[in-house]
Structure 1
Amino acid sequence: MKRYSLLPILLCITTVIYAQPNTDVFLFDIDHSSGKLELSNIQNISNKEGYDNQPSFLDNYTLVFSSTRNGQTDIAQYNLKTGETTWLCNTEGSEYSPIKIPGKKAVSSINLGLDSSQKLYSYSLNDDSSEVLIDNLLIGYHAWKDKNTLFLAVLEPDMLSLVEYNLKHHKADTIQRNIGRSLLNIPNSNLISYVSKEKPQWEIHSFNQKTQKFTFIANTLTDSEDLVWLNDGTILMAKDDYIYHLNPTQGKEWVQIASLKELNLHNITRMAVSPDGTKLALVAER
């Protein structure tokens, strides 16, 4: 088994269009047993021409992502145990950014309709049923806080804005303008994180929904906005062909821990970690 040590080597959106580069979704094992973080057992789980992006774990053994087929983008579901890929929906539109809805056997995803509409839908994991959740906002990205609360990256002229949305009362509150696309729940906390682009040097911030408090966490890598939290409260961030690591409680300097050049993987973007912290999914160009 070849290992990639983390020391030596290791969308663009308009209001109606998602840029679609030729990307694939890759899966790694994450190993901490040696005292340092290592990646091993790389798999290309999409492995085809076209757009495969925006991976998200439903559980430790199931990954969903957006994938192009028959000229449109749908939700693919990958079973880590069997290696089988199935499709969750068969709509006339295209689906982006699928994530698990808390407390339900369903995923939410942004549906880009043939009429250029852009709505947030719920798709059942049990059957082909779906329903509209939000149809009055141009949502680029989203994250669930609980079954009734979402944080949205809403498209406005020349920027994304952070919006807290109450699904039960259909109430939207804008809480920050000019943010990035990474909206994440911080493990073992009641906080979400986002990337603020208000300054030339982008910053990672947290937001406490209950106290309405914003807290600076760290600067991002230059012009980079794709990150993921590990269960120990540290952060992985991607830039170009490299992965960097940061422990925000011990310092503010990013440490390069992986280069994927020798694997001929480039322009790493979206990342996701399994709930148990043993798997890393990432998007890259071959």
Structure 2
Amino acid sequence: MKYTLCLLAFLFTGVFSHAQSSCDLILLETKKMFGNFSVIPGSAQKLTDRDGYDNQPSFLNNDQVAFSSIDENGNSDIIVYSFDTEEFMNMTRTEFKSEFSPRLTDCGKYISAVTVEEDSAQRLWLYPINFGEPELLYDDIEPVAYYAWFNNIAAMNILGEPNKLVYPYSRENVVELAENIGNCIQKRPKTSEITYIDKGTSVVLNGKETFELKSYDLEEKIAGNHGVALGQSDDFTWIDKNTLIMAKGQELYIKKVNKSMEWEKIAVVSMPGYGDISRLAASPRGDKLVLVMKRK
């Protein structure tokens, strides 16, 4: 299914497989006050509602969220949802390519996406928000799985044996930052850190295996550590510079990295017909949280 193309103005302020599980985007209203983050009880509502794959949400600004959506033909496009108009629009509408993992670039002029091309090459492309011609960013860096932006340059997880997290300071200086990382790469707000889960070595905590949340400061060029992830969960995001959020099953947890390395449960999201939370994205002002929940 294709979403209706709307004339909507933007507000400026792994290997991908077509055999994906069916999942929807769920919106929670949240609030952030005096450094505390909480979920407003009873605020959960569906943003998408179909037997298909709607996943990988990323806020473009506080009023728009982009995500990848696979249609009935197995093709993935980038969709943008606007909260003020409650409308969807196709950012891409390609027949022989598939786009995943949308993010707004630092300059604000493009939505970037990992694009699976006609010959199965998997590279990072830029899609102008004025619907101009898309541009290939790095022609010689592939296959890209996931990525995050810093200083108008993408830190990318490149598939291989092992997978490698790289950052191209220049075309001639592509630096390897880490190996065997998870599927989530996030920039820590108001810092020059790129954060990720280290899947290369595991940690046993309270008798259960988990992994460490690590970082690399792209300006200082030093590695860091933010403690352990939440169980086997693979996705996380930052609410602000010091607050991480992850999900386990249908439970949401936060951790204050500047105060404690312990995870604190803040909410349980129970939606009829839905199972676990697999991904999540927080709005810039901290008043919205978009989750991906699997259909049962």
| TM-score clears 0.5 | yes
Matched, 1:165 2:168: yes
Partner of 1:145: 150
Partner of 1:4: none
Partner of 1:26: 26
Number of matched residues? 270
AA in 2 matched with 1:198: G
Percent of aligned positions that are identical = 29
Partner of 2:196: 194
If the length of structure 2 is used for normalisation, what is the TM-score? 0.85
Give the Å deviation of 1:235: 0.8
Matched, 1:64 2:66: yes
Distance in 1 between the 2:59 and 2:84 partners?
A: 13
Q: CA 1:82–1:113 in 2, change beyond 3 Å: closer, same or farther?
A: same
> Which structure 2 residues correspond to residues 49-128 of structure 1 after superposition, within 5 A?
49-71=51-73, 72-91=75-94, 92-128=96-132
AA in 2 matched with 1:141: Y
Distance in 1 between the 2:269 and 2:110 partners?
A: 34
3-state SS of the aligned residue for 1:17? coil
Distance in 2 between the 1:36 and 1:110 partners?
A: 31
Distance in 2 between the 1:275 and 1:32 partners?
A: 11
| Residues 112-121 or 32-41, more deviating | 32-41
Alignment partner of 1:231 out of 240, 253, 256: 240
Distance in 2 between the 1:28 and 1:170 partners?
A: 44
| Residues 98-107 or 247-256, more deviating | 247-256
AA in 2 matched with 1:134: Y
Could you give the per-residue CA deviations for residues 33-84 of structure 1, whole angstroms, max 9, x where no partner exists? 6966123532311211111110001111011000112421100000010100
| Residues 171-180 or 16-25, more deviating | 16-25
Partner of 2:290: 281
AA in 2 matched with 1:275: P
Could you give the per-residue CA deviations for residues 138-175 of structure 1, whole angstroms, max 9, x where no partner exists? 1100111022x211111113x43211124x53642212
CA contact (8 A) 1:74 1:89 kept: yes
AA in 2 matched with 1:38: V
Distance in 2 between the 1:199 and 1:283 partners?
A: 27
Distance in 2 between the 1:33 and 1:277 partners?
A: 9
3-state SS of the aligned residue for 1:207? strand
CA contact (8 A) 1:118 1:135 kept: no
AA in 1 matched with 2:24: D
Matched, 1:253 2:262: yes
3-state SS of the aligned residue for 2:181? coil
CA contact (8 A) 2:18 2:70 kept: no
| Residues 260-269 or 62-71, more deviating | 260-269
CA contact (8 A) 2:31 2:286 kept: no
Give the Å deviation of 1:262: 5.2
Give the Å deviation of 1:132: 0.9
Partner of 1:241: 250
Q: CA 1:190–1:94 in 2, change beyond 3 Å: closer, same or farther?
A: same
CA contact (8 A) 2:114 2:122 kept: yes
3-state SS of the aligned residue for 2:200? coil
Distance in 1 between the 2:226 and 2:53 partners?
A: 32
AA in 1 matched with 2:40: L
Give the Å deviation of 1:263: 4.8
Distance in 2 between the 1:19 and 1:227 partners?
A: 23
CA RMSD of aligned residues (A): 2.0
Q: CA 1:262–1:124 in 2, change beyond 3 Å: closer, same or farther?
A: closer
Give the Å deviation of 1:252: 1.7
Distance in 2 between the 1:170 and 1:23 partners?
A: 41
Partner of 2:9: none
CA contact (8 A) 2:191 2:241 kept: no
Partner of 2:222: 213
Give the Å deviation of 1:274: 1.1
CA contact (8 A) 1:32 1:38 kept: no
| Residues 123-132 or 53-62, more deviating | 123-132
AA in 2 matched with 1:30: T
CA contact (8 A) 2:30 2:37 kept: no
